[in-house]
Amino acid sequence: MRSLDIAGTGMQAQQTNVETISNNIANMTTTGYKRSRAEFQDLIYQDMRRVGTSSSDTGTIVPAGAQVGLGVKTAAIYRINEQGSLEQTSNSLDFAIQGNGYFQVTLPSGQLAYTRDGTFSLSNDGTIVTSDGYAVSPAIVVPSNAQSVSVDQSGQVNVTVAGQTTPQLVGQLQIATFANENGLAAMGQNLFTQTAASGDPIVGTPDTTGFGSVMQGYVENSNVNVVSEITDLITAQRAYEMNSKVITASDDMMQTLTNLGR
């Protein structure tokens, strides 16, 4: 019976849906996290009577065929890249991007990764790094005698050094945008890497055309809407239950056929 296999694909699809929702809920407090949404497609169809075929020798055409669908499959899991709310932390090394763009980070392999998580710190040599110790690119080094660090909306990093009244420019933050943000590959640790689908990064100065501005002393919260996620979770759970009911009904029908042969 096709219904067993069809309902099985439905249960698998809703399991993927629940897993996606649970990951969103788990990351509701993750800095810079973008919620995901599962998208599904129907599977191929089996033609029991093909539409448009001839139904007689006089050339009459079948106006509507008979097709039986074979279930559902996962097409993609999209990231919803809408801006998360900004939370003030008053930490001079916390940066948030208001608008488009990603901070660039150099991995130990030398490869560049991209992130919306701007909770940075200083390494032992004064380099601005992520919480995992990966240096921001281009590298910016804060002098050991710096008394304060200030960053404007265009990403210029200035420090105030003891004995000087004029701030000293020590670096310029650069951010990257992509033609297809959903093409970026998530690698965990709030980092993404470039793929053929994302296209090459377009690197520029913050607060210019096409690039967001840098907000010092802020972090970007997750854009997960808990109420929406719980509603979607209930819907997915009910869909899973309905598919299981189809399997139960199909099993009862097969049991009836088995009993007829006794």
Q: What residue type is 203 in one-letter code? A: V
8 Å CB contact between 170 and 158: yes
- The one-digit pLDDT tens for each residue of the chain (262 residues) are 788 899 999 999 999 999 999 999 999 999 999 999 999 998 887 776 777 777 677 777 777 777 788 899 999 999 999 999 999 998 999 999 999 999 999 999 999 999 999 999 999 999 999 999 999 999 999 998 888 999 999 999 999 987 787 899 999 999 999 999 999 999 999 999 999 999 999 999 999 999 999 999 999 999 999 999 999 999 999 999 999 999 999 888 888 888 886 6
Other Cβ atoms less than 10 A from the Cβ of 240: the count is 18
Whole-number Cα distances in Å, 78 to 74, 81, 217:
11, 9, 30
pLDDT value of position 185: 95
Q: Quote the pTM value.
A: 0.85
pLDDT value of position 166: 87
Here the contacts of 251-254 (C-beta below 8 Å, separation 24 or greater) are: 251/4, 253/1, 254/1
Domain boundaries, the chain: 2-81+224-260, 86-220
pLDDT value of position 81: 92
